[in-house]
Amino acid sequence: MPDFMAYVLFTLLGTLIGSILSLIPSLHVYNVLGILVMFSETIAVHVSLDRIAFMLIGMVVAYGFLNTLSTVYIGAPDDSTIFVVFPSQKYLLVRRGHEAALLVGIGGLAGIAFLVAFSPLAVRIFPPLRQLLSEHLLWILVAITIYMFMTEFPRETDRPRTRKGRLWEAWRSLIMGWIVFGLSGLLGFITFNKPITPFQNAFQNLLPVFIGLFAIPWMLLNIISRVKVPEQYVAESVDVDPVEIFRGASAGCLGGIFAAFFPMVTGGIGAFLAGHATAQRGDRPFLISQGANRVVYYVGSFLLLFVPTLHLTRGGAAWILTTMYQPKTWQEYYTAVAMIALSGGISFIILVYASKLYARLVSRVSYRKLSALGLAAVIVIVLIFTGPAGLLVAMTAAGIGLMANLFHTRRMNLLGCLLLPMILDLSGYTGTLANLLGL
Amino acid sequence: MYAGDSEAICPSCGRYIGPRDVCPYCGARVKRRLSVRLLKIAAVILAVVGLLTVRFVAVYIQTPVVKVSEIKPSMNYAHIKMTGIVTRYPSLYSDGSLSFWIDDGTGEIMVKAYRFEAQELLQSGSIPAMGDRVEVEGSIRIREDFQYLVIDLPSKLVIVKPNISGSYSPAEIGLEHLGLKVEVVGTASGVRETSSGGIILYLEDVGGSIQVYIPPILRVLGFNETIMDGVRLKVVGYVSLYQGELEVVPGMPQEIEVLSQVFEYGRVSIAMVNESLVGSIIEVEGEIVEVRTYSSGTLVKLDDGTGTLDVWIPVEIYSEHPKVAMIAPTAKARAKGLLAVYKDKLEIKVSRVEDFQLLEEPAIEITSIASITESDEGRLFMIQAEITDVVQLSAGLKLLVSDGTGTIAVWIWNDLLEQITIADQFKPGVRIRVIGQLVIYKGTLELQPLSPESIEIIG
């Protein structure tokens, strides 16, 4: 079979698999990609690994689009959708979940268009930019962290009567944000430097951390709060105008590409910075920007691996693929761009229908039961890949994630699990902290 | 815990507020429930106790020992321990990182320390040398076709130095010493610096020699001796094979000891040169009576009237000499270098370009082609002849010329050809005058012009 046709077929296969998997609440496509790594030697005997690379493109693109559904309808976020939850829940509770999903999907489509349009420029921009930034990573990450802290605002609106009370009221959520950042940072530090999970599946070291920080707390709160989702109305049109699409998409693409390129900056941080930089207002541009940000982050970071003069490994999918296969040619790069466009279009169509299905199910099936099912699923995944030690890590992370939720701090502080170890590493203090912790 | 649906709804405005104590929409206070506080406390306890437990497990868990052959893609980023023998000397890169290779019996793997970790290793002197046994902990990075171990914590690198297996003369070291740490004493010769900053030399004694490689990392570690030909050295190092040749590689600056510096005699007449001067630097002057070119260098025989003496000019010195084409019989030259014995003959080894000076250029003889023979190799000749054939080859232009008495090739290297403005006129039938050095190439006599002016058209 000619290579191009094979690539098309494997991209479509990946899109299909990714779409199905993305509908399962809290299941991250990277978890499934992990299975590929575990069986890579066997797979390599039967299928050429360059074709697997294109299957991964399909899976990542589909995940970028369709995992939005579980976030919108069940409120199960990952590290890149922590911002989507509130506006989308607002939509959900006024029976407009489908519209919220479509807005996020439109953003995703804009993100794909941006990536395709940007692809010829990326090969010129990123190699020198990488060289330029390599010496400046530390202060940029520190600046991002400080900005995160500085822009956190007190969540409480009540005014206590005493001065002390008011002071505490003002600082409580901020201080808790720092504590959450510190605790998740410590957990990330241990995970990076002396992981307790089985070394045979070390490529999934961060899996229990992320599931614990982001997925489990939301599942738990959903179960506890006994939210009833009203019956959803499946609208045939979307309340949005081109200006809002442009505003939302441009902010999302900006944040997404920053997160895709910059190490340890996830889609959530990218969205946060882009949102602030472009002064986003309104739920519709916000949801669109999050959709664009998410797709550009996931797909863009993976695409960077295909740039022959760059070979930048960013994001879980790229890290997983590099252990098996490294794309090498310009032909592969531009074929990958084409496959991203193909997969993006198909994923959006699947999203429309899958959202309708979700909208029907979510009011009929108990929200609690769905959340409980999701919780059980992620616990099983954690156990399969990382065993009881992974479960311990996930539970610890869940405690930290719950703190962020219950003390009303930004969930972005949970990304301390990546930022703190990276900052320490870049500043040469990894050994100092490791010694302090006795690692 | 939340009692029911009503508790997720603001009692004042009826909107969904989740677990908040104050409605974000209307600002109404929702009665603080003990259950929410309990949940908060439970979350804090879970986070703190969990983190302490994770830390406890991390401290006491045994780091798994993994062999190179056992590494699988799914282990990417695994924190593991590896043990092995250092097989390649550590290299320090411009970005401050450092790497070395170990072999654990099942395969070889690169161990890398990034800037800060490398700095710490250098400061503590914990740099392994070839042949050292190391136990190293770090995280493994796996690529499609390459894998390496990254040192996260320099304190987790344990180095065990092997004992010295014995003290040997250069000639005694053989394949049986491969992989062992040895002590060898001899006189340095052929000292040269590599482009990477390492030093290659031969340690010699009367019985033979062995190559010694001083890796660039030793300079970083404080090795600051200037080693020149003739210096007597004691080197402790690991015996390895480099391109099929045995070499000794020291791992630490203190493993290189200068036993005695070279003695410089100054200028002597050739008649005075004898074996008692071997290992000293001497200077002689005389007429070049013979030039022989080999792939590794050029042997020049000098005659000062009191005797003759061979002068060995290594190829890297010879090729850099500004008047290389004038190094020909009848020229007068001054040579300075280490006196050594090669194949039972005394010779001066020139180690710097400035140590071989031409005092007088060679006489150029106008001659007929028929009178030029192989025994004239290295001499300069002037001929006047007609071009009979022109052959362009990748490295230069070959002109076949004839003067009626015979035929000879004139070889013009490309770099010289580019400087000859009349090159496009070199055609059969054109008469030229050539001054060139006689070279024997694959058994054929060739005249090689020295400069653009060495070749001119005369008709």
pLDDT per position as a tens digit, A251-266: 889 888 888 888 878 8
Q: Is B8–A226 a contact, with Cβ atoms under 8 angstroms apart?
A: yes
Please tell me the least confidently modeled range out of A16-25, A101-110, A161-170.
Answer: A161-170
Which of A40, A203, A431 comes nearest B155 by C-beta? A431
Q: Is A323–B20 a contact, with Cβ atoms under 8 angstroms apart?
A: no
Q: Which of B391, B430, B429, B394 is nearest to B410 (CA)?
A: B391
What pLDDT does residue A78 have?
54
What pLDDT does residue A1 have?
54
Nearest-CA distance from B87 to chain A in Å?
A: 25
Q: Is B117–A403 a contact, with Cβ atoms under 8 angstroms apart?
A: no
Q: Is the pLDDT of residue A365 over 60?
A: yes
Residue B261 to residue B258: CA distance in whole angstroms: 7
> Hey, is the C-beta of A221 within 8 angstroms of any chain B C-beta?
yes
pLDDT per position as a tens digit, B11-57: 667 777 776 767 777 666 665 544 677 888 899 999 999 999 999 99
Q: Are B364 and B352 in contact (CB under 8 A)?
A: no
What pLDDT does residue A75 have?
67
Query: Which of these CATH numbers, 3.40.1160.10, 3.30.479.10, 3.30.420.10, 2.40.50.140, describes B174-260?
Result: 2.40.50.140
List of chain B residues whose C-beta atoms are within 8 Å of the C-beta of residue A319: 76
Q: Are B437 and B448 in contact (CB under 8 A)?
A: yes
How far apart are the two ends of chain B, measured CA to CA in Å? 112
> Hey, is the C-beta of A432 within 8 angstroms of any chain B C-beta?
no
Q: Is A203–B76 a contact, with Cβ atoms under 8 angstroms apart?
A: yes
Top-ranked range on mean pLDDT: pick from A197-206, B204-213, B307-316: B307-316
Nearest-CA distance from A226 to chain B in Å?
A: 6
Q: Is the pLDDT of residue A83 over 80?
A: no
Q: Closest chain A residue to B154 measured between Cα atoms?
A: A431
List of chain B residues whose C-beta atoms are within 8 Å of the C-beta of residue A202: 74-79, 139-140
What pLDDT does residue B293 have?
74
> Hey, is the C-beta of A319 within 8 angstroms of any chain B C-beta?
yes
Phi, psi of A21 (to 5 degrees): -65, -35
Which of B43, B145, B155 comes nearest A399 by C-beta? B43
Top-ranked range on mean pLDDT: pick from A126-135, A220-229, A387-396: A387-396
> Hey, is the C-beta of A187 within 8 angstroms of any chain B C-beta?
yes
Q: Is the pLDDT of residue A233 over 70?
A: yes
Q: For chains A and B, what is the number of CB pairs under 8 angstroms?
A: 182
pLDDT per position as a tens digit, B321-347: 888 778 888 889 999 988 888 888 899
Q: Is the pLDDT of residue A84 over 70?
A: no
Q: Is B20–A408 a contact, with Cβ atoms under 8 angstroms apart?
A: yes
Nearest-CA distance from A346 to chain B in Å?
A: 30
What pLDDT does residue B239 have?
92
Q: Is A431–B45 a contact, with Cβ atoms under 8 angstroms apart?
A: no
> Hey, is the C-beta of A428 within 8 angstroms of any chain B C-beta?
yes
Which of A93, A392, A396 comes nearest B47 by C-beta? A396
DSSP one-letter code for A173:
H
Which of A194, A320, A322 comes nearest B79 by C-beta? A194
pLDDT per position as a tens digit, B102-154: 999 899 999 999 988 898 888 888 889 888 899 999 999 888 778 899 998 88
Q: Is the pLDDT of residue A249 over 70?
A: yes
- pLDDT range class, residue B207, cuts 50, 70, 90: confident
Q: Closest chain A residue to B155 measured between Cα atoms?
A: A431
Domain B68-160 has CATH 2.40.50.140: yes
Q: Is B51–A183 a contact, with Cβ atoms under 8 angstroms apart?
A: yes
List of chain A residues whose C-beta atoms are within 8 Å of the C-beta of residue B73: 37, 40-41, 203, 323-324
List of chain A residues whose C-beta atoms are within 8 Å of the C-beta of residue B145: 326
Q: Are A92 and A73 in contact (CB under 8 A)?
A: yes
Please tell me the least confidently modeled range out of A130-144, A152-166, B71-85, B145-159.
Answer: A152-166
Instruction: Give kind and range of the element (H or E) at residue B186.
Output: strand B181-193
What pLDDT does residue B1 have?
33
pLDDT per position as a tens digit, B386-424: 999 999 988 889 999 999 899 999 999 887 888 888 888
Q: Which of B334, B364, B366 is nearest to B350 (CA)?
A: B334
Q: Is the pLDDT of residue A406 over 90?
A: no
B344 backbone φψ class: left, alpha, beta (φ>0; ψ -120 to 50): left
What does CATH list as the number for B364-457? 2.40.50.140
Q: Closest chain A residue to B18 measured between Cα atoms?
A: A225
> Hey, is the C-beta of B22 within 8 angstroms of any chain A C-beta?
yes
C-alpha dihedral (A9, A14, A15, A21), degrees to nearest 10: 150
DSSP one-letter code for B22:
B
Which of B42, B76, B153 comes nearest A431 by C-beta? B153
Residues of chain B with CATH 2.40.50.140: 68-160, 174-260, 264-360, 364-457
Q: Looking at chain B from residue 26 to 65, which residues have their Cβ under 8 Å from any Cβ of chain A? A: 27, 29, 36, 39-40, 42-51, 53-55, 57-59, 61, 63-64
Given the cut 0.85, state whether the ipTM is greater than it.
no
What pLDDT does residue B81 have?
93
Both tokens of A110, joined, read 């804009």
Which of A158, A399, A434 comes nearest B50 by C-beta? A399
pLDDT per position as a tens digit, A168-223: 777 888 888 899 999 999 999 999 988 899 988 888 888 899 889 988 888 888 78
Residue B453 to residue B74: CA distance in whole angstroms: 68
- Bridge partners of B400? B389, B409
Look up tokens 């990254």; give the residue: B150
List of chain A residues whose C-beta atoms are within 8 Å of the C-beta of residue B65: none
Nearest-CA distance from A113 to chain B in Å?
A: 30
Q: Is B152–A158 a contact, with Cβ atoms under 8 angstroms apart?
A: no
Domain boundaries, chain A: 2-437
Which of B27, B66, B142 comes nearest A157 by C-beta? B27
Please tell me the least confidently modeled range out of A309-313, A415-419, B238-242, B443-447.
Answer: A309-313
List of chain B residues whose C-beta atoms are within 8 Å of the C-beta of residue A433: none
Q: Looking at chain B from residue 281 to 320, which residues have their Cβ under 8 Å from any Cβ of chain A? A: none
What mean pLDDT value characterizes chain A?
A: 84
Q: DSSP letters of B94-144?
A: TTS-EEEEEE-SS-EEEEEE-HHHHHHHHHHT----TT-EEEEEEEEEE-S
Q: Is A326–B144 a contact, with Cβ atoms under 8 angstroms apart?
A: yes
Q: Which of A177, A154, A180 is nearest to A167 (CA)?
A: A154
Instruction: Give kind and range of the element (H or E) at residue B415.
Output: helix B414-417
Q: Are B410 and B399 in contact (CB under 8 A)?
A: yes
Q: Are B300 and B348 in contact (CB under 8 A)?
A: no
Per the model's pLDDT, the better-predicted residue between A326 and B333 turns out to be B333
Nearest-CA distance from A118 to chain B in Å?
A: 27
- pLDDT range class, residue A91, cuts 50, 70, 90: confident
Domain B264-360 has CATH 1.20.1090.10: no
- pLDDT range class, residue B184, cuts 50, 70, 90: very high
- pLDDT range class, residue B4, cuts 50, 70, 90: very low
Both tokens of A328, joined, read 């090498």
What pLDDT does residue B31 have?
58
Residue B399 to residue B430: CA distance in whole angstroms: 11
Q: Is B54–A405 a contact, with Cβ atoms under 8 angstroms apart?
A: no
Residue A109 to residue A252: CA distance in whole angstroms: 11
Top-ranked range on mean pLDDT: pick from A154-158, A319-323, B169-173, B428-432: B428-432
List of chain A residues whose C-beta atoms are within 8 Å of the C-beta of residue B19: 221, 224-225, 405-406
> Hey, is the C-beta of B403 within 8 angstroms of any chain A C-beta?
no
Range A161-169 average pLDDT: 77
Which of A226, A402, A403 comes nearest B4 by C-beta? A226
Rg of the Cα trace of chain B? 36
Residue A285 to residue A97: CA distance in whole angstroms: 16
What pLDDT does residue A226 have?
63
> Hey, is the C-beta of A227 within 8 angstroms of any chain B C-beta?
yes
Phi, psi of A9 (to 5 degrees): -65, -45
> Hey, is the C-beta of A324 within 8 angstroms of any chain B C-beta?
yes
Provide the greatest CA pair distance for chain A: 77
pLDDT per position as a tens digit, B431-440: 999 988 888 8
Q: Is B77–A205 a contact, with Cβ atoms under 8 angstroms apart?
A: yes
Q: Are A61 and A287 in contact (CB under 8 A)?
A: no
